[in-house]
Structures are given as C-alpha cells and as structure tokens.
C-alpha cells in the first residue's frame, strides 16, 4: 500500500491548519474538501490569545489582525442600565504575546491557510471531494472519496478526520458522539448599525441580559455588528427570521437599530457532544468532528485549531522515527481539554446568560465585578476563559 502521505478529510479551519503544520514539518499531505471552495458562512468570529500565538509562526496572525478588530476587553452587561463587568485582557501580558481577543471571521483564517497550502510542493488540496468510507490495516489507511461522480480510493499512512460535526470519518469508524442538543435556536444577524455609538462603554464582545426579558450578544467585526437573538422556543423559527421580526428584535435593543438593513441572518442550533475516542488505529478525529460546544465564549474553532497543532506535532515526530505510542497522547491531552474546559465552560457561559431572575442576575454580576476588580482573580479567570489554562493542563499530561 502506498503510504507516503497523511490524508485529511475536511477543509475547514481545523483540517487546513493540520495540513499546513504537517507540510511545514516536511510531510506530504492530501486534503479532501466536499465543497467546491472554502466555506464562508457566518461562524466563528473570536480568536483567543493562544490561537494567535500558535498561528504566528506562519505569519497568519498578522494577516488576521490586519483584517480583524482587536478587543482589549469583553464584558457582561445588564441592558439597558449598562451596569457591567469588564474583563481587561491586558492582565495576560506575561502569559501571551496577544493579550486580547481578535474579532475576525473564521473564513479569513481558512483563506490565509489555503493561500499557503496551494503553493506548497508537499500539499494537494482537492475540492468537490467527499470522504465516504475508511478501511485500514497494519500498513496504512484507505479513504474512499466521491470525486467527479465516481469513487476513488486514496491511501496514506495516517488519516485525520476534520470533516466537521457530521463527520463521515467518525461515522465510518462507528465512534459514538454522545451529548445533547440544546432546545433553543439562535438567530444571528449582522447590521451596520453602530451600537457602540449608542451604548456607552460597550466592548467589542458583549454579552447582555435584557431587563425583564432574555438575553442577546453583540459582537463587533470590522464595519459590522453581529447580534445573537434568542427567539421564543415555542414559536417557529421561520417567523423570527422574517424581516419585520428581525427589525423589531434589533429595535428592541436600541431604538433606531431596526431601521438599519439586516445584511445577513442565520439560524443555528447548538449542541454539546464529544467523540468516545479521538483515535482508531491510523485515524484521528480533530475539531468539530471530535467535539461540539455552545459558541458562548467562542471556543469551538479555537479548540479545533489547538487539536490540529497538537496532533500534527506528534505525527511529525512519529514520522521521523519516534515511537508510535506518542500518538495516544493526543487523545489523552486533547479530549479532557475539550470535555472539562471547552464544553463545560461554554455550557456554564450559556447557562449564566440564560438566567432570568433579576436578583440572581445582579448577584452574578456583583460576583463578576469582584473578579474584575482584583488583578489576581481576573488573571486566573481570563487564563481559563482565554483557553490558556486548558492548554497548560493538557501539556502537563504525559
Ligand atoms: C454561529 C457560530 C458562531 C461560532 N463562533 C465561534 C467563535 O467565535 N469562536 C470559536 O472558536 N468557534 C466558534 N464557532 C464554532 C466554529 O465555527 C467551529 O468549531 C469550527 O468551524 C470547527 O472547524 P472544523 O474545521 O473542525 O469544522 P468545519 O468548520 O465544520 O469544517 C469541516 C469541513 O469539512 C467539510 N466536510 C464535511 N463532510 C465532509 C466529507 N465527508 N468529506 C470531505 N469534507 C467534508 C465541510 O464542507 C467543511 O468545510 C461558532 C459556530 C457557530 C455556528
């Protein structure tokens, strides 16, 4: 069996990152993406400090910063009073070269990765190529791929399944994906309306409780605000997506916001799930194929990119002669990070913002304000929410 390369299923940010890390280590890579081009739908917008630290070695961090918005603070806020807890990431200056959140669309990362991969002599990027089956033996792995209306079998030494939440690779290996789907549908809308000119002291990433009602979040990107709205769970989401309903939802946040056109909108359901195993012989799962979490806190893509760096480094070492047992460390390090840090934290963030009781909200806010006014507590809090604690804990696992 020809096994002179690593196969990757999925050309999202995670598969593309794994491809670049491997090629950079001198390993031949073949990546198969089901769609005809990089997917540019409304998804991740937040990059956390360690992800920016990791991507720096490829010169990608500078490109993202040039196309994004640096957010030195983020906040949790009572609306409309404006009472808030502001988390200032500058306390992380000794822990990261990028002590801020960067607001930048995830597809811009994918494009930066793609640019480097298409010109790399060790990389073959194949679009319109859907992975559909996997077989393996002691010598290598065979990936069945639907290409040009026929099935082609590709062989490699290892396979990375980075093919997203519905991963065909995970299904082919019959690895369970246990967890739950949350009941609510979130509606994401983008608008040019300048919320920062109307809500004093607003951070570029703001999670809001609305007085006598539910919650919403405001995430700023260059030139636009993304607003997350949570329509009533007992009403059909189609109604919430209609133009008058969208405008009314924005108008209810700031008078005048409803007059600004809704540029893009997207409903989505949220899940928290984790693959029972990250490795099956010569096959590994990475990113959304391995774990799913609420976007609250912006950790899914970041965590997937961290998976990709971790796994690629181990594959490179084994490729160059280290004991293959090293590959088991990938799951031992990254699965607990996903479960105990990413999924658990995102679930707690979501639950906090869904709190409706005014007294309980004020109590939570007072607790958060006590954290933000104590430098040591703030640093500990932000190390965790910025995913640095999870990475440090993972690195300590041997
Ligand atoms: C609204 C929203 C906001 C979010 N915000 C954030 C945020 O701020 N920060 C954050 O870190 N995360 C965020 N996330 C999560 C983030 O978008 C995902 O975690 C991230 O996209 C995972 O990347 P991935 O490469 O693993 O999977 P994907 O991005 O899903 O990429 C998988 C790729 O595989 C391809 N594919 C699928 N099946 C096959 C197949 N059989 N063969 C070949 N290719 C296949 C797909 O076309 C796709 O291109 C958000 C998600 C949503 C929905």
Q: Dihedral angle at the C-alpha atoms of 304, 310, 312, 318, nearest 10 degrees?
A: -150
Q: How far is residue 52's CA from residue 62's CA, in Å, rounded to a whole number?
A: 9
Task: Tell me what pLDDT residue 2 has.
Answer: 59
Task: Tell me what pLDDT residue 231 has.
Answer: 87
Give the pLDDT confidence of 170-220 residue by residue, as tens digits.
999 999 999 999 999 999 999 999 999 999 999 999 999 999 889 999 999
Sheet holding 158-161, edge to edge: 123-126, 29-32, 6-9, 158-161, 283-285, 279-280
Instruction: Determine which residue's CA is closest to atom 48 belonging to ligand 1.
Output: 12
pLDDT averaged per 10 residues, the chain (length 398): 86 98 98 97 96 98 98 98 98 98 98 98 98 96 96 98 98 98 94 97 97 95 96 86 93 96 94 97 98 95 98 98 97 97 95 96 98 98 98 98
Q: Would the CB of 95 count as within 6 Å of ligand 1?
A: no
pTM over 0.85: yes
Q: Which of 19, 32, 43 to mutate to test the pocket of ligand 1 (most atoms within 8 A of CB)?
A: 43
Task: Tell me what pLDDT residue 234 has.
Answer: 82
State in Å: Cα 168 to ligand 1 middle: 14
Q: How far is residue 93's CA from residue 99's CA, in Å, rounded to a whole number?
A: 5
Give the domains, in start order, of the chain with CATH numbers.
6-71+102-179+272-354 (3.50.50.60)
Task: Tell me what pLDDT residue 1 has.
Answer: 45
Contacts of 291 (CB under 8 A, 6+ apart): 273, 274, 275, 300, 303, 304, 335, 338, 339, 342, 343
Give the pLDDT confidence of 20-37 residue by residue, as tens digits.
999 999 999 999 999 999
What is the sign of the dihedral through the CA atoms of 192, 195, 197 and 201?
Answer: negative
């Amino acid at each position: 069996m020809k096994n002179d390369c690593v196969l990757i299923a999925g050309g999202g940010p995670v598969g593309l990152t794994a491809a670049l890390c491997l090629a950079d280590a001198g390993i031949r890579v073949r990546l198969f993406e089901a769609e005809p081009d990089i997917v540019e739908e409304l998804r991740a917008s937040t990059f956390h400090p360690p992800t920016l630290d990791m991507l720096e070695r490829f010169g990608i961090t500078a490109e993202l910063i040039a196309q994004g918005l640096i957010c030195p603070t983020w906040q949790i806020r009572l609306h409309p009073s404006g009472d808030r807890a502001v988390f200032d990431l500058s306390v992380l200056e000794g822990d990261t070269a990028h002590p801020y959140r960067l607001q930048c669309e995830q597809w811009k990362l994918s494009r930066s990765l793609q640019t480097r991969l298409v010109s790399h002599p060790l990389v073959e990027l194949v679009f319109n190529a859907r992975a559909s089956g996997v077989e393996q033996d002691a010598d290598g792995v065979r990936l069945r791929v639907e290409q040009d209306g026929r099935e082609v079998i590709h062989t490699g030494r290892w396979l990375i399944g980075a093919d997203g939440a519905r991963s065909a690779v995970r299904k082919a290996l019959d690895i369970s994906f246990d967890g739950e789907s949350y009941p609510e549908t979130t509606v994401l809308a983008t608008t040019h309306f300048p919320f920062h000119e109307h809500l004093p002291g607003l951070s570029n990433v703001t999670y809001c409780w609305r007085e006598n009602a539910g919650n919403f979040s405001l995430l700023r990107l260059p030139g636009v605000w993304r607003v997350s709205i949570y329509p009533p769970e007992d009403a059909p989401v189609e109604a919430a997506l209609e133009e008058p309903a969208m405008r009314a939802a924005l108008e209810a946040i700031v008078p005048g916001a409803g007059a600004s056109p809704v540029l893009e909108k997207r409903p989505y359901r949220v899940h928290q799930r984790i693959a029972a195993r990250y490795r099956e012989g010569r096959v590994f799962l990475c990113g959304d194929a391995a774990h799913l979490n609420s976007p609250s806190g912006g950790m899914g893509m970041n965590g997937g990119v961290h998976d990709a760096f971790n796994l690629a480094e181990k594959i490179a070492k084994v490729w160059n002669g280290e004991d293959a047992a090293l590959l088991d460390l990938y799951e031992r390090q990254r699965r607990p990070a996903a479960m105990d840090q990413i999924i658990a934290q995102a679930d707690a963030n979501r639950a906090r913002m869904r709190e409706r009781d005014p007294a309980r909200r004020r109590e939570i806010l007072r607790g958060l304000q006590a954290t933000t006014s104590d430098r040591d507590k703030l640093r500990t809090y932000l190390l965790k929410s910025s995913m640095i604690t999870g990475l440090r804990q993972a690195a300590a696992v041997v």
